[in-house]
Amino acid sequence: MLVLKFIWMEKNIGIALDQLVPGHGSIPLSPYYFWPRKDAWEELRAKLEEKEWISQKQMIILLNQATDIINLWQQGGGSLSA
């Protein structure tokens, strides 16, 4: 199972990709990509495309989740209370 991990900060949001292995925890598949310093969504897309074993459907789901979280972060200006 693939999961996105986030670091929510005031001026940046970090996005990373991990694989959950039952009974063993998580394995990082990517570094954290920080938005808006760089285009984290585009960096995540490129990393997902490198992993040929990730289906197109799973890739779309993960990118849509990343988009939703980035939009939420933008609306709140980095503040969790907004």
Which domains, from first to last, does the chain contain? 2-76 (3.30.390.140)
Predicted TM-score (pTM) of this structure: 0.84
Helix axis angle, 40-50 to 56-76, nearest 10°: 160
pLDDT in tens, 26-47: 999 999 999 988 889 999 999 9
- Number of residues assigned to the chain: 82
pLDDT in tens, 42-75: 999 999 999 999 999 999 999 999 999 999 998 8
Cα pseudo-dihedral 65, 69, 34, 13, rounded to 10: -150
Instruction: Please name which of 60, 68, 2 lies closest in space to residue 30, comparing C-alpha atoms.
Output: 2
